[in-house]
Amino acid sequence: MGASERILAYAKAQPEGMIVTAKELLQLGSRAAVDQSLARLCRSGKLIRAARGIYVVPVESRFGTRPPSPHAVARALPHVLGEPVEPHGAAAANRLGLTTQVPVRPVYVTSGRNRKFRLGAQALEVQHVPKWQMQMANRPAGQAIRALAWFGESHAPAALSELKKRLPAEEWQALMSARPTLPSWMAKAVSEATVRAN
């Protein structure tokens, strides 16, 4: 079995959206052989080059072949980039039931630099945001912070009165305890919502 076949077998064994990089394939051949094999697999359509050095496996179904879902790829990005990657504030607001608006494009946020990934006809965008927006990754309180950042100062009070009803008590507590790290307008809005609720 040549390097290309070994790489393809390894890549296909990963769940949808998992990212393959040359560095993790060096047990299958020399760096030059791995790079050549990855280029060959991309040319033949067996792998998709999402960005420089980042590859994903197309998904085969009875309807044909399609790129992996941007959301599945986004879930795999923290492992490769070494930094948290979370849904954009608009998506967080939708998840929390604060808006019925569904973002048209898959946009995520990170404390690292802006990046774009191509997945066939679709693009996955990762935008840089300040570190305070990346707190409590994977938690509703963290989603609430990103949603509030998206709503902005003028809409934050209305969003917070909804959040008070929707967030579990421990998540509301976590949001309150994050106040020292938040911009002053958001910290003030959280404090005022707490006072109103009591």
The residue assigned the tokens 């998506």 is 91
Q: How many CA atoms lie within 13 A of 114 on its CB side?
A: 1
Helices 3-12 and 31-43: crossing angle in degrees, nearest 10, is 70
Q: What is the pTM of this model?
A: 0.85
**Cα–Cα–Cα angle for 128, 114, 150, rounded to 5 degrees:** 35
Q: What fold is seen in the domain 3-66?
A: Arc Repressor Mutant, subunit A (1.10.10)
**Contact indicator for 166, 97 with CB cutoff of 8 Å:** yes
- pLDDT per residue rounded down to tens, the chain (198 residues): 688 899 999 999 999 999 999 998 888 888 999 999 999 999 999 999 999 999 999 998 888 899 999 999 999 999 999 999 999 999 999 999 999 888 888 999 999 999 999 998 899 999 999 999 999 988 999 999 999 999 999 999 999 999 999 999 999 999 999 999 999 999 999 999 987 765
Quickly count: other Cβ atoms within 10 Å of residue 156's Cβ. Answer: 21
User: What amino acid occupies position 176?
Assistant: M
